[in-house]
Amino acid sequence: MFTKAERLISLRNLRPKKKEGFLKIISIFSFLGIMLGVAILIIVMSVMNGFKTDLTNKILGLNPHVVIQPNSFEIDEEFIVNIKKNFKEIRLSKSYTGEGITISNNNAKGVILKGVDKNEKNIIKFFKEYTSKGKLENFKSNHVFIGSELAFDLDLQMGDTLNLMSSAFVSTPLGSLPKQENFKVGGIFNTGFLEFDKNIVFLNIQDALSIFDKTEKDQNVEIYLDDPIKADYYKKKFEKINQNFFIYTWSDLNKSLFSALKVERNVMFIILSLIVVVAAFNIISGLTILIKNKTKEIAILKTLGLSNKSIKKTFFLTGLTIGFFATISGVILGILFSINIEKLRIFLSSFFNLEIFPSDIYFLDKLPSEINLNSIFIIFLISIIISAIASYLPAMKISKMSTFRALRYE
């Protein structure tokens, strides 16, 4: 593609003379600009990918993949048998969820009360993985498991008593009052997902039905899949079996969140790509000045028989070389930073005594990072294309140069 002579001339252009020091500074800024632009793009994309993956994993680990609610129609045994017969790969459990208020130590907080079956495999797995205080054996009648953040807000410890008030009302001589019962704290869990740890209270399903004044026919059916990504596919299948029930998936509950993340990721990619574009302008200005300074040399090369095309290729190769090595350096720098981003966050937080990426805002207790090879390849390709365009534009001017005018005063 490039002859030996073209490569030699291009290499010489990359080493400007001492009197061309300003040109050298422009080349350095071009290199640094593209390198930092590519590195920042990779770091930001890796953090956003990691954030989305970590958030998805936590949501999938804390919630059922498909939920079937009675919707005023009883979920009969025939429907459940039908599902088990046609979809042997899924796992079923029953639950009941409602809104309530926790009252303890003169503090009150609105929460979600979730009644679950402690013998269900996913519930056992959840408590074993996330319980920080207490044991699964403590999850029995009149006992609850609460999140670490909720325990901190209400100043609760293991064995303490708290009062749960539901949205169901009972008739008393004083009128209708919200139904409430006392429970003991049997365990405290810590998922690292702040919104979950602050707002969820687990209790035995029979206790949940009792406090909401419900019966077993009001229970929800929760479905767990081996591949949660196929939740929408199973949802459509279940709806065909019976359309009377209200069926939703984990993605339905979090659609707005993931849509916002996708939009934010795309916007950030476009904005940060402008850093590489701005840096590429330095290549244009640098090559323009270089061509202006090399006017006489270009004229001599033409008289020696070197074609316009070859000369344009030499200057194009000069700019592309800067862009290529700057991109490679940016990729390496970006990957190294992405791998060590959490260590860097901890160091900066302790050094400047600042809380970077506070967990109560970003839902996570640490800064995640996930290196995606496809994203890196796209960033690499875009950077090379921008560098190629920036190198091509000034090189095109060489064809308009007059050899006679360049040599007339020599």
**Structure-block tokens of residue 121:** 């495999």
From CA 344, how far away is CA 28, in angstroms rounded? 27
Q: What is the pLDDT of residue 357?
A: 65
- Residues 198 and 73 sit within 8 Å (Cβ to Cβ): no
Amino acid at 107: N
- Residues 298 and 401 sit within 8 Å (Cβ to Cβ): yes
Q: Which helix (H) or strand (E) holds 215?
A: none
From CA 155, how far away is CA 141, in angstroms rounded? 22
How many CB atoms sit inside 10 A of residue 307's CB? 10
pLDDT at residue 10 greater than cutoff 80: no
Say yes or no: 261 and 401 in one domain.
Answer: yes
**Structure-block tokens of residue 212:** 């909401």
Closest to 27 measured CA to CA, from 368, 323, 247, 312: 323
Q: Residue 278: CA atoms inside 13 Å, Cβ hemisphere, count?
A: 12
From CA 321, how far away is CA 191, in angstroms rounded? 49
302 part of a folded domain: yes
- Residues 368 and 42 sit within 8 Å (Cβ to Cβ): no
Strands 175-189 and 143-147: parallel
Say yes or no: 169 and 104 in one domain.
Answer: yes
Is the model more confident about 54 or about 15?
54
Say yes or no: 208 and 267 in one domain.
Answer: no
Q: What is the pLDDT of residue 398?
A: 66
Please report where in the chains the tokens 């600009």 appear, as a residue: 33
pLDDT at residue 213 greater than cutoff 80: yes
DSSP 8-state assignment for residue 141 = T
Amino acid at 68: I
Average pLDDT of the residues in 397-402: 61
Amino acid at 201: V
pLDDT at residue 226 greater than cutoff 50: yes
As to burial, measured by CB atoms within 10 angstroms (0-12 exposed, 13-18 middle, 19+ buried), residue 119 is exposed
238 part of a folded domain: no
DSSP 8-state assignment for residue 168 = E
12 part of a folded domain: yes
Say yes or no: 209 and 150 in one domain.
Answer: yes
pLDDT tens per residue, range 62-106: 778 888 888 777 777 777 777 877 787 788 888 888 888 898 877
pLDDT at residue 346 greater than cutoff 60: yes
Q: Which among 224, 246, 269 is the end of a domain?
A: 224
Say yes or no: 263 and 372 in one domain.
Answer: yes
Report how many domains make up the chain.
Answer: 2
Say yes or no: 143 and 271 in one domain.
Answer: no
Q: Which among 224, 240, 271 is the end of a domain?
A: 224
Q: What is the pLDDT of residue 305?
A: 67
Please report where in the chains the tokens 């996930």 appear, as a residue: 370
Instruction: Spell out the residues 6+ positions from residue 218 whose beta carbon is closer than 8 angstroms to its own.
Output: 70, 96, 209, 212
Please report where in the chains the tokens 């402690």 appear, as a residue: 118
pLDDT at residue 308 greater than cutoff 80: no
Angle CA(294)–CA(299)–CA(300) in degrees, nearest 5?
A: 100
From CA 219, how far away is CA 208, in angstroms rounded? 10
Q: What is the pLDDT of residue 336?
A: 92
How many CB atoms sit inside 10 A of residue 244's CB? 12
Say yes or no: 213 and 261 in one domain.
Answer: no
Please report where in the chains the tokens 């592309």 appear, as a residue: 320
Q: What is the pLDDT of residue 409?
A: 47
Q: Left if phi > 0, otherwise alpha if psi is -120 to 50, otherwise beta: which for 219? A: beta
76 part of a folded domain: no
Say yes or no: 330 and 193 in one domain.
Answer: no
Q: What is the pLDDT of residue 80?
A: 79
Say yes or no: 32 and 148 in one domain.
Answer: no
62 part of a folded domain: no
82 part of a folded domain: no
How many CB atoms sit inside 10 A of residue 116's CB? 24
Structural domain containing residue 35: 4-56+257-407
205 part of a folded domain: yes
pTM check: above 0.85: no
Closest to 55 measured CA to CA, from 66, 44, 45, 47: 47
Say yes or no: 95 and 202 in one domain.
Answer: yes
Write down the mean pLDDT value for the chain: 80
Packing angle, helices 255-293 and 295-303, rounded to 10:
70
Cα-atom radius of gyration of the chain, to the nearest Å?
33
Handedness of CA 251, 252, 254, 256 (dihedral sign): positive
Say yes or no: 28 and 114 in one domain.
Answer: no
From CA 13, how far away is CA 290, in angstroms rounded? 8
- Residues 132 and 148 sit within 8 Å (Cβ to Cβ): yes
Say yes or no: 162 and 220 in one domain.
Answer: yes
27 part of a folded domain: yes
Q: Which among 200, 224, 248 is the end of a domain?
A: 224
Instruction: Spell out the residues 6+ positions from residue 306 whose beta carbon is closer than 8 angstroms to its own.
Output: 5
